[in-house]
Structure 1
Amino acid sequence: MIRKYFSGHDDPGGIRELFTLALPMIISTACDGLMTFTDRLFLAKVGSEQMNAAMSGGVTLQVLIFFFVGLTGYSTALVAQFFGAGEKHNAPKAAFQAILVTLAAWPVIILLKPLTFLFFEVMNIPESQIGYQVQYLNILVWGSLFGMMRYTLGCYFTGIGKTRIVMTATIVALVVNVLLDYVLIFGKLGLPQMGIRGAAIATISGAFSAMAILIAVYLGKTNRRQFAVTRSFRFEQWIMKKLFYFGTPAGLEMFLNFLAFSIMISLFHSQGDAVATASTIMFNWDLISFIPLIGMEIAVTSLVGRYMGAGQPEVAQHAAISAIKTGIFYSAVILVLFLFVPESLVRVFSPQAPDPVFEEAVSIAVSMIRIAALYVLAEAVMLALIGALRGAGDTHFTMVASVTVHWITLPILYFALNVFGFSVPFSWFLLVLFFLVFCWVLVIRFRSGKWKKIRMLHPEVT
């Protein structure tokens, strides 16, 4: 079956080349998803309130860091284009500019932390949840530097096509995180039961271990000699200018989208403990289905960037189409699971002690997971096209289109839940419909071919 799938697709930009690059990134992002999933699964055994708090607190942290993650993440495309153009000495220079931005971002994130606590109060988060949420976020903010540095260094290795290094570091992070989750959340090996605080400590410990591995390889002899790394440790204005020009839209897109997503989560959670539990379970399973597709997006960004840097836009287009085909194949499997065994998926999160709130949430979560089956297919196409457009430098369009759609969904959800009194599953269905519209907008942009005319490596920024 696998051989037939790859047959005839081993040309440049074909499925074989894409999959070779993407598989380590899919495994890496899947490990990231498993870390988050395990946090919430273990916390569900302690109590639904702590699981819900980890969901909201984790998304809030992403709101704080994702502008910088989006900005520095664009170094993947810059590194890939330098690499594709034969300018290997400039690849680590682009990476170092992203490292400088990451180091400068950390104190800003810490200073913004009090605003998040005010946000929790404004959104009427249930009292049973908000205390845990503050504890969780407070620890994650202080350890956020490790996660951001790990991501920034990973962008460099992805850009030069060495995704196995990123995969190895992420697998180590997963092992560290899951082991510490078990020990700290439940209080094993003679340690006190820490619950959600233990989950936060496990998360930043996993990020630190991955960061340490990536730094060691980045500064290793092979990488230093091949890419002249030691001569890259300086501010390069022209590269930093490109990073900000092309990366700022990506950063703004991620920040504004996750801010919208955070508000969306809060709107669901404000409907009561049962709805909070149901939506958290649904988004946990959506995360598991979604995260591997992010690996595909990162890979296609790198591959498209490489071929655009080499002056081969038609091969870059072929790579994007290969990503769409692969993503749809994967999403079809998820669709079957979501449609036919949703209750089994929900009951994975059953607490250790009988919980009437959880039982009330089961039917709501089942309906939401079935509706999410439509969303997963759209995600496969969306992420492949977004990755391709970003790799080519078409970040301004993707920012405007994506942010517009995400923020339109918020008043729709608010009015559906709080004004018209629609059910939670039907309100979720309305949001899914709007994301299907966004998918079609991306298809139109991709088919227009305007992205093929962007030349990132010209002396002019534009």
Structure 2
Amino acid sequence: MTFQQNFTQQYNKPGGMRELLYLALPMIISTSCDGIMTFTDRLFLARVSPEQMNASLGGGVSLQVIMFFFVGLIGYSTALVAQYFGANERANSAKTSFQAMLLALVAWPFLVAFIPFADGIFRWANIPEAQIDYQVQYLSILAWGSVFGLLRYALGCYFTGIGKTKVVMRATIVAMVVNVVLDYILIFGKFGFPAMEIRGAAIATITGSFCAVCVLLVSYFGAENRREFHIRESFHFSSKIMKKLLYYGYPAGLEMFLNFLAFSAMISLFHGRGEVAATASTIMFNWDLVSFIPLLGIEIAVTSLVGRYMGAGRPQVAHRAALSAIKTGLFYSVVILALFVAIPETLTRTFAPAVPSSIFEQAVPIATTMIRIAALYVLLEALMTAIVGALRGAGDTHFTMIASVSAHWIFVPILYLSLNVFHLSVTLSWFLLVLFFFAFCYVLYRRFRSGKWKKIKVIEKEVAMER
């Protein structure tokens, strides 16, 4: 058999790259649209002032610290919906989706309750004074509108779990268009609207999420989906399914919460070194986010595909799907690596403010070096997202939580010691974090190779009795 014949055969097999790409490409487009929304917020705000750009990163991440426990919890519904779908338990797929929507509604008051504490926390974290008020405004508006983002995510997990990722893609494109257009109008004050600056960016984000929810609900209540998945009968609390969602989902939620808490702490440590360091690290993290978000599309797709085949009792096909995700991610990451190495200063100057700023000019060489350093680990990010997606899809959420949380909370003291005890430069401190990321990825790789995840049983056939 020739190489081309062998590649074609592997490409077309169940769990091969063709099946993965069918699910992944719409999700890559979807997550890229989310990245464009975040990127546009910060790009437009950079034209206003570096302080407002930095505040959008700090405020957004701070809210995500609280929000992402529920996002991780809700996010496991993708794997659970997919496992029921693979086991031909379609009514239970819809019931799982409704439990996820209930969790979204429960989460919202917790996010709003965080608003009164934001100012004190930012001051305690030594955020630059010129940035704090903007950061509080941005976080407050996003928190009030977060219910739409949570419901959008819950509905998106359902459609991803049943393999209809194009529905998610359409909703996200609508959200992106609405968000970008309103960013331009509200941030800068166009077409008769007042210039709302950072408040306009937050309102645009919320409005985009609301529009996406509307698009998803139209498909959710469509005649075909209602009939095939027994949607009308799904609107009730299911203790058995909720227990599964909580048991397998809480590690993912706790992982995301603790990881983003660590990430927020790392951002605060960088920002605590002054406005130049804050601007440089914000620019670098913006480009890191842009490069990383499409990989999340691959992670979501492989979670769905692995969950489906594990639910169908075909772990070897699930393994093949994970390998397909790794290959796809590596192809993408090679392109990002080339850009980060070749044109880092061009990428940095994309965020140049409209009015010349000495802070920005001082930050340019630092951000340029940090982007070059980020090129060292983009290939490892592809490996990490594919393996994490596969492990979560199979139900191995407890291990991924322990490994990931341990790694991130090792990063925080390393960065603190580097910046505040040994007084190393921002770029050298960032380089140390990248080196430790290698060790974390190796731990995940060893777990995947062990095959223990293939033996996990998340659903049992007696769940069919709930119909």
Per the normalisation by structure 2, the TM-score is: 0.97
Name the CA shift for 1:50/1:6 in 2 (closer, same or farther; >3 Å): farther
For 1:43, which of 13, 23, 45 is the aligned residue? 45
1:388 corresponding residue in structure 2: 390
Report the more deviating stretch, 174-183 or 433-442. 433-442
Alpha-carbon contact 1:6-1:15 (below 8 Å) kept: no
Residue 114 of structure 1 aligns to a residue whose secondary structure is helix
CA RMSD of aligned residues (A): 1.5
Name the CA shift for 1:460/1:427 in 2 (closer, same or farther; >3 Å): farther
Residue 374 of structure 1 aligns to a residue whose secondary structure is coil
- The residue type equivalent to 2:377 in the other structure is Y
The structural deviation recorded for 1:116 is 2.9
1:86 corresponding residue in structure 2: 88
1:177 corresponding residue in structure 2: 179
The structural deviation recorded for 1:6 is 6.3
For 2:309, which of 302, 307, 313 is the aligned residue? 307
- The residue type equivalent to 2:177 in the other structure is V
Please show how residues 306-345 of structure 1 align to structure 2 within 5 Å.
306-345=308-347
Alpha-carbon contact 1:6-1:16 (below 8 Å) kept: no
Alpha-carbon contact 2:77-2:97 (below 8 Å) kept: yes
1:122 corresponding residue in structure 2: 124
Alpha-carbon contact 2:415-2:429 (below 8 Å) kept: yes
1:226 corresponding residue in structure 2: 228
Alpha-carbon contact 2:77-2:158 (below 8 Å) kept: yes
Q: How far apart are the structure 1 equivalents of 2:119 and 2:409? A: 22
Q: Determine what percentage of the aligned residue pairs are the same residue.
A: 67
Q: How far apart are the structure 1 equivalents of 2:37 and 2:388? A: 25
Q: Does 2:248 align with 1:246?
A: yes
Q: How far apart are the structure 2 equivalents of 1:30 and 1:125? A: 29
1:203 corresponding residue in structure 2: 205
For 1:21, which of 11, 20, 23 is the aligned residue? 23
The structural deviation recorded for 1:460 is 9.5
Report the more deviating stretch, 162-171 or 434-443. 434-443
2:217 corresponding residue in structure 1: 215
Size of the alignment, in residue pairs? 460
Q: How far apart are the structure 2 equivalents of 1:116 and 1:386? A: 32
The structural deviation recorded for 1:8 is 4.1
The structural deviation recorded for 1:3 is 12
For 1:424, which of 414, 423, 426 is the aligned residue? 426
Report the more deviating stretch, 5-14 or 41-50. 5-14
Q: How far apart are the structure 2 equivalents of 1:72 and 1:394? A: 16
Residue 192 of structure 2 aligns to a residue whose secondary structure is coil
Alpha-carbon contact 1:328-1:377 (below 8 Å) kept: yes
Q: Deviations over 1:142-186 (max 9, x none)?
A: 000000100000000000000000000000000000000000000
The structural deviation recorded for 1:61 is 1.1
Q: How far apart are the structure 1 equivalents of 2:6 and 2:312? A: 30
Alpha-carbon contact 1:57-1:137 (below 8 Å) kept: yes
Structure 1 residue ranges (4+ consecutive) displaced by more than 2 angstroms after TM superposition = 2-8, 112-118, 458-461
The structural deviation recorded for 1:53 is 0.2
Residue 115 of structure 1 aligns to a residue whose secondary structure is helix
1:9 corresponding residue in structure 2: 11
2:403 corresponding residue in structure 1: 401
Q: How far apart are the structure 2 equivalents of 1:25 and 1:6? A: 23
Q: Does 2:289 align with 1:295?
A: no
Alpha-carbon contact 1:182-1:188 (below 8 Å) kept: yes
The structural deviation recorded for 1:374 is 1.4
Q: How far apart are the structure 1 equivalents of 2:118 and 2:403? A: 26
Q: How far apart are the structure 2 equivalents of 1:185 and 1:279? A: 23
Unaligned runs of 5+ in 1: none
Q: How far apart are the structure 1 equivalents of 2:37 and 2:126? A: 28
For 2:268, which of 250, 266, 269 is the aligned residue? 266
Alpha-carbon contact 2:394-2:454 (below 8 Å) kept: yes
Report the more deviating stretch, 85-94 or 452-461. 452-461
Q: How far apart are the structure 1 equivalents of 2:183 and 2:162? A: 33
Unaligned runs of 5+ in 2: none
Please show how residues 124-143 of structure 1 align to structure 2 within 5 Å.
124-143=126-145
1:376 corresponding residue in structure 2: 378
Report the more deviating stretch, 98-107 or 166-175. 98-107
Residue 9 of structure 1 aligns to a residue whose secondary structure is helix
- The residue type equivalent to 2:321 in the other structure is A
Q: How far apart are the structure 1 equivalents of 2:119 and 2:264? A: 13
Q: How far apart are the structure 2 equivalents of 1:18 and 1:390? A: 16
Q: How far apart are the structure 1 equivalents of 2:398 and 2:161? A: 21
Name the CA shift for 1:423/1:105 in 2 (closer, same or farther; >3 Å): same
The structural deviation recorded for 1:110 is 1.0
Q: How far apart are the structure 2 equivalents of 1:8 and 1:64? A: 42
The structural deviation recorded for 1:64 is 1.4
1:30 corresponding residue in structure 2: 32
Q: How far apart are the structure 2 equivalents of 1:366 and 1:424? A: 12
